[in-house]
Amino acid sequence: MSASEVKQALIDAARELLRRGLVEGTSGNLSARLSRDRVVLTPSSYPYERMTANDLVVTDLDGNPLEGERPPTSEKALHLACLRAHSEIGAVIHSHALYSSMFAVARQPIPCVIEEFDVYVGGEVPVADYRMTGSDELGEEVARHVGDRAAVLMANHGLLSVGRDIDEAMKVASLVERTARIVWGARALGELAPLPDSTRERFAPIYMALRRSGGQGEE
Ligand SMILES: [Zn+2]
């Protein structure tokens, strides 16, 4: 994909986050790699509906500005820490999805009780320790959890998902939010039934294999 195609995909994903109710107003933020060490990020506090490619900000992996007039998202450190730590990650989405945020506030992982969770997320979604929003410490803490997982909860805050590209990170955010809602409802009905070990053994390795190969998997 060309740089302008990546930027347009980022804007489309930002609008989809809003449409799906995974963020409110100008909350949440997105980033995607343009090359090995160039990253495009959403700007700070700017409405997604009005956002164009000219509003986006390009930095290097250390956050030095390269393009753009607007200040980058206040969670820049969070995005760059994930992209610096894991070269196979191409995009990062931070959202405030409702059910995922309920788990984040309760500081409970979202369990892997659905087969597609193993395949697309790599297992349960863990909870990163609480660190102040916008801090380098939050970035480091969150980045350490996405080495073998496509999503992590940020304690008392929200959700972060990663992918080979922005569409994959979006798909993970939606799947995690939907699963959080299913688990919440299933617990209201009774105890969760775990997946059989044989199923976990079969599906659990698929996520990292796909991530390393650059594949997107089958629907
Ligand atoms: Zn946030």
pLDDT tens figures, 92-103: 999 999 999 999
**Ion ligand 1 contact residues with beta carbon within 5 A:** 158
Distance between CA 94 and CA 45 in Å, rounded? Answer: 14
Separation of 94 CA from ligand 1 center, angstroms?
A: 6
Distance between CA 52 and CA 62 in Å, rounded? Answer: 24
Separation of 201 CA from ligand 1 center, angstroms?
A: 34
Distance between CA 78 and CA 53 in Å, rounded? Answer: 21
User: Any catalytic annotation for residue 75?
Assistant: yes
Instruction: Find all residues with CB under 8 Å of 218, minimum gap 6, and list them.
Output: none
For every one of its 219 residues, what pLDDT tens digit does the chain have, with 9 covering 90 and above? Answer: 899 999 999 999 999 999 999 998 889 999 999 999 999 999 999 999 999 999 999 999 999 999 999 999 999 999 999 999 999 999 999 999 999 999 999 999 999 999 999 999 999 999 999 999 999 999 999 999 999 999 999 999 999 999 999 999 999 999 999 999 999 999 999 999 999 999 989 988 999 999 888 644 433
In the chain, the percentage of residues whose pLDDT exceeds 70 is 97
Separation of 73 CA from ligand 1 center, angstroms?
A: 10
Going by their DSSP bridges, the two strands 151-154 and 127-128 should be labelled as: parallel
pTM (2 d.p.): 0.95
With H, G, I as helix, E, B as strand and everything else as coil, classify residue 80.
Answer: helix
Separation of 100 CA from ligand 1 center, angstroms?
A: 12
Tokens of 81: 């820490």
With H, G, I as helix, E, B as strand and everything else as coil, classify residue 217.
Answer: coil
Domain 3-213, classified CATH 3.40.225.10, yes or no: yes
Separation of 60 CA from ligand 1 center, angstroms?
A: 22
Exactly one of 16, 67, 69, 75 is catalytic; name it.
75
